[in-house]
Amino acid sequence: MMSDVSMAQKAHRVTLAGMLINLVLSASKILAGIAGRSSAMLADGLHSMSDLVTDVIVLFSVRIAFKERDQTHHYGHGKYETFATMIVSFALALVAGGILFNGLLSVAAALQGKLLPKPGFVALIAALVSMLVKELLFRYTIAEGKKIQSTAIIANAWHHRSDALSSIGTTIGIAGAIMLGETWRILDPLAGMVISIFIFKIAWQLGGPSIRQLLEAAPPVKVREEIENIISATAGVMYFHNLKSRYVGKSLAIEVHIKVEKSLSVEVSHNIATAVEVSLRQRFGMDTHVGVHVEPYFEPSAG
């Protein structure tokens, strides 16, 4: 198990590497889009520029997220990471909306008879290079994100993948616009529009869970059932109720009232509660927040 310090350092390193790559790529693609007269490449460059913004957000949020609990954050700082994941998803949605809107304007202009500019080969080369670099960056970032179980790093990895997908569409659109003649120049903005739909989907897949966590939604049914089974299987627990659970960042927070034999001593009752805590932490991680309230069990009265 890596320490929180090691995980924070790894998160910082992978995000910083992405920032530097995005800085070079975004500048190169915007210049290539202008020089190559390609609206798809220009949109692709702006997409990469948005990656820079989210890299900065992730960089600061994960450093805070791995801090220990303190007097002002009794459950730790995990929700900073959840919040960063939500911001990344919003940024993705905005980028997708911008690409879609610009594509619609270009397509409308083409349908009205306006001749779209022919993209240059410099735009095609930039798209190919971007596609390769961003796919490699995605694989590196998501692998590191899974190692340290960071939702923000994983979300940022998918932001890199969305850029790679955008570059695939850009490559197809630019290549078609260059090689198939004037009529097919509409492929350039159409490619961007198609890719924007995929980016919207990624934004929803990332943003939905983070929004639910910030709104204190309970874990999935499967997780709740597993919690219930662990509590029920603990020796000495005769009944439990008032079970509450939620996520604090990547950690679970669980509160429950258990009932034990009323004749048991305080020490024995406490040991049963401790056994519940230990079992839950063994299953869901040592950073799981567990609160167990002990009550005496009374047989239900007949009739």
Name all domains of the chain by residue range, CATH numbers in brackets.
Answer: 4-214 (1.20.1510.10), 221-297 (3.30.70.1350)
Q: Residue 231: is its pLDDT beyond 80?
A: yes
Residue 10's contacts (CB-CB under 8 Å, 6 or more residues apart) are 2, 144, 147, 148
Q: Are 242 and 249 in contact (CB under 8 A)?
A: no
pLDDT, tens only, 64-89: 666 666 676 656 666 777 777 788 78
Greatest CA span in the chain, whole angstroms? 89
Burial degree of 109 (CB within 10 A; 0-12, 13-18, 19+): middle
pLDDT, tens only, 94-130: 878 877 887 788 788 777 877 666 677 888 888 888 8
CA pair distance 152, 99, nearest whole angstrom: 24
Higher pLDDT, 222 or 42: 222
pLDDT, tens only, 172-183: 777 877 777 667
CA pair distance 61, 48, nearest whole angstrom: 20
pLDDT, tens only, 130-155: 889 989 999 999 998 888 777 778 87
- Rounded to two decimals, the pTM is 0.59
